[in-house]
Amino acid sequence: MTDLRATLGEAVRAAFSKVGLDDAFGRVTPSDRPDLADFQCNGALAAAKAARRNPREIAAAVVEALAGHPAIAAVEIAGPGFVNLTVSEAALSARAQELARDDRAGAPYVPDPRRVIVDYGGPNVAKEMHVGHLRASIIGESIKRLHRALGDETLGDAHFGDWGFQMGLLIVACHDEFEDLRPWIDLQGEAADEPTMTRFFEAVAPRVGLADLDRLYPMAAARAREEAEYRDRARRATADLQRGRLGYRLLWRHFRDITRAALERDFHALGIDFDLWRGESDVDPLIPGMVGELRDQSLLYEDQGAQIVRVARNDDKRDVPPLLVVSSEGSAMYGTTDLATILDRKQTFDPDLVLYVVDQRQADHFETVFRAAYLAGYAKEGSLVHIGFGTMNGADGKPFKTRAGGVLKLRDLIEMAEDKARQRLHEADLGSELPEEEFEATAHQVAVAALKFADLVNFRGTSYVFDLDRFSSFEGRTGPYLLYQAVRIKSLLRKAAAEGAEAGEIRIEAPAERDLLLVLDAYPHALLEAYDKSAPNLIADHVYRLAQAFSKFYAACPVLAAPDAAARGSRLGLSTTALRQIESALDLLGLEAPERM
């Protein structure tokens, strides 16, 4: 399948060749003046500059060479030498037919599929979730879906933060809090038999729940900042845990499992599902071997009692700090786990590309880790990419929090958005005829669409302000608007089916049909650009444009009341295709439209 832009690009490049000029000048883009033409080529100006010739003269030669091309209805020179192209109705209709037959609604495949890991979300056990995790999850999910849809073998990994000092803090806090559990927590040894493990969890599970972790962790973290002795206990507990002390291990497994179950449930409610929940702990066994190997490669230096890898390069414009592999106290650090994870992924999946969808503030961390990985030969130069993003701020301009000063709870956020969605549905008089259960499901979909679309519609580097009222509106560039448009088309198609009307051969005639088809045609280009730039906002832009073009078409070209059966069939075909593409794009953003509202 070739889109019209590519078809015309080919034609114009051939025309440049034919008149003896470099065909690279034949680049075709959508017209800046859609009222005058569909596409344009500005190459005559650049070609004229290079050849010291008159641009209009070159444009005229190109226009002549294009004469009679079946996809072109009109070609004109504008201003100093722009070539304006209007697509023929035959080519538009043929393209429409092609899209109508395509169950991917025009979504392309990349020419060279790769093995890709998207590392996103990055939630932690105990440590509170913040907007960085929320944005990482929303953006990462979309990038993962895009890679998968375009043909890459893709895995999304939550890179679960389940190791490190916060675990020691929790162990100490539980030890102090639950006197009756101490015999269990203090269990020595390294391995337990089945019955002991069963009894351990029977004792611990009913006593230690998520609410306890939420309460104990901040307390312990605060206390460790104040009291050196408490801090030391937590450090020792961390070290003992990592050495495999039985009671700590089992308790830690409990923390990890209950946290993960709750996170999985809440993420799933947001349409975010990780393929892998590999934890930082999973690569811990690789670390001693890795450190030995770094030493053998002479990459490891001793620095004030710590072991580091120097990654600075001569041409660095700024200071790039070394990677701290082993601290002076002998512990592995955040970067150590990341490096070991790169090694682990190479051994288990051998990815061509790993995208780290993580807060922009971690840019330096990743630069250091990636360089160390390249030096150690764990990854091919350029195959590790940090996809950073800005923050979602509250009205006060600071990173958003759900409650005054409180932590971000996905559950609270979802419930807040659902309340707002219900209110918006009532205001718009939507969904009032639905059975209660379906209304609730719809409100949930509207809520998710509001939150996610508001995030994805901005280029990820930009920070934005959380404004649920605006995000949830059924008007403007919002998720709910898009769901509503999809629902409208679904209801139109249901009505058509009830009347026995069927989609037929598409003929593009009216201006609104032409505009709609041109937007549909641009889908593959938008997706490939979003893919190259890891920029889901380009998908968001596209689907919004599409919904608007459909709206205009629907207002200008009656479908069920079309003048004759052929026109009705054509318009139904166009509507079906538009819906399929809207749903495809929504899916890539991680959204789903209800059947009715």
Question: Would you tell me which residues interact with ligand ARG (CB under 6 A)?
Answer: 119, 122, 124, 159, 161, 338, 356, 358
What's the min distance (Å) between Cβ of 327 and ligand ARG? 17
Q: Which is nearer to ligand ARG, 39 or 356 (CB)?
A: 356
Report d(CA 442, CA 162) in Å as an integer.
35
CA–CA separation, 47 and 42 (whole Å):
9
Q: What is the DSSP letter of 206?
A: T
d(CA 297, CA 442): 58
Closest CB 323 distance from ligand ARG, rounded Å: 13
Q: Are 113 and 148 in contact (CB under 8 A)?
A: no
Q: 72 or 134: whose CB is closer to ligand ARG? A: 134
On the CB side of 446, how many CA atoms lie within 13 Å of its CA?
Answer: 35
For 364, residues 6+ apart whose C-beta sits below 8 A from its C-beta are 320, 321
Candidates 189, 204, 281; CA nearest to 242 is 281
Shorter beta-carbon distance to ligand ARG: residue 93 or 337: 337
Q: How far is the CB of 505 from ligand ARG (least distance, A)?
A: 51
Coil, strand or helix at 564: coil
For residue 301, the cross-strand partners are: 308
3-state secondary structure 104-165: CCCCCCCCCCCEEEEEECCCECCCCCCHHHHHHHHHHHHHHHHHHHCCCEEEEECCEECCCH
Which residue sits closest to ligand ARG, CB atoms considered? 122
Closer to ligand ARG by Cβ: residue 201 or 374:
374
Four-point Cα dihedral 167, 170, 171, 173, nearest 10:
160
339 vs 309: CA distance, rounded Å: 11
Nearer to ligand ARG, 129 or 251 (CB): 129
Of 200 and 366, nearer to ligand ARG (C-beta) is 366
Question: Which is nearer to ligand ARG, 159 or 233 (by Cβ)?
Answer: 159
User: Could you tell me the smallest distance in angstroms from the CB atom of residue 358 to ligand ARG?
Assistant: 4
CB distance 35 to 82 below 8 Å: no
Phi, psi of 21 (to 5 degrees): -115, 160
Cβ proximity to ligand ARG: between 43 and 388 the closer is 388
Residue 133: CB minimum distance to ligand ARG, A: 6
Amino acid letter for position 36: L
Q: What is the nearest approach in angstroms of ligand ARG to the Cβ of residue 341?
A: 6
Minimum CB–partner distance for residue 349 and ligand ARG (Å): 15
Considering beta carbons, is residue 338 or 515 the nearer one to ligand ARG?
Answer: 338
Q: How far is the CB of 485 from ligand ARG (least distance, A)?
A: 35
DSSP per-residue codes, 51-83 = HT--HHHHHHHHHHHHTT-TTEEEEEEETTTEE
3-state secondary structure of 474: coil
CA 427 to chain centre: 31
Q: Could you tell me the smallest distance in angstroms from the CB atom of residue 404 to ligand ARG?
A: 23
Nearer to ligand ARG, 263 or 574 (CB): 263
CB of 335 to ligand ARG, least distance (A): 9
